[in-house]
Homo-oligomer: A and B are copies of this chain.
Amino acid sequence: MTKINFSDEYFMRQALNEAQIAFQKDEIPVGAVVVCNKQIISRAHNLTETLNDVTAHAEMLAITAAAEFLGGKYLNECTLYVTLEPCTMCAGALSWSQIGNITFGASDDKRGFLRHTPPIIHPKTIIKKGILELECSDIVKNFFKNKR
């Protein structure tokens, strides 16, 4: 039996797999997983085009599915892994969910939540960034390169 190393890279790789599925669906390739006690309790990718709905970001769908799994809407004990820095909408939702940790891959200087003051996320939420940054960034760049 292969022992799995439940590192940040392991879970971000799962989020990247979701982003890859989005890419194949011609969606902006962003993926997310929510982890609780080293277990992935939800997975999602961006579906704004498929669902014709601006609210269908990977993070939003992952938050809703995680709450459904847990039977409670607060995610204090959970970590969200997402390939791209969340936007203000998703950060607002993460704030309402009281999520414990947000770990993202690539920064989004234009649409990311970190540029806003006062901070959108609760100060107790631990934010980590730069996990598999290059891969998380490249998949988005490649998507838009193909569009030109």
Contact = CB atoms under 8 A, between A and B. Distances in A.
Contacts of A67: 52-54
Interface residues of A, number: 29
A71 B52 contact: yes
A137 interface: no
A115 interface: yes
A117 B73 CA distance: 28
B93 A54 contact: yes
A35 to B, nearest CB: 18
Contacts of A88: 88-89, 91-92, 95, 116, 120
A54 B97 contact: yes
A80 to B, nearest CB: 13
A63 B53 CA distance: 8
Interface in A46-75: 48, 52-55, 60, 63-64, 67-68, 71-74
A96 interface: yes
A118 interface: yes
Interface of A: 48, 52-55, 60, 63-64, 67-68, 71-74, 87-93, 95-97, 115-118, 120
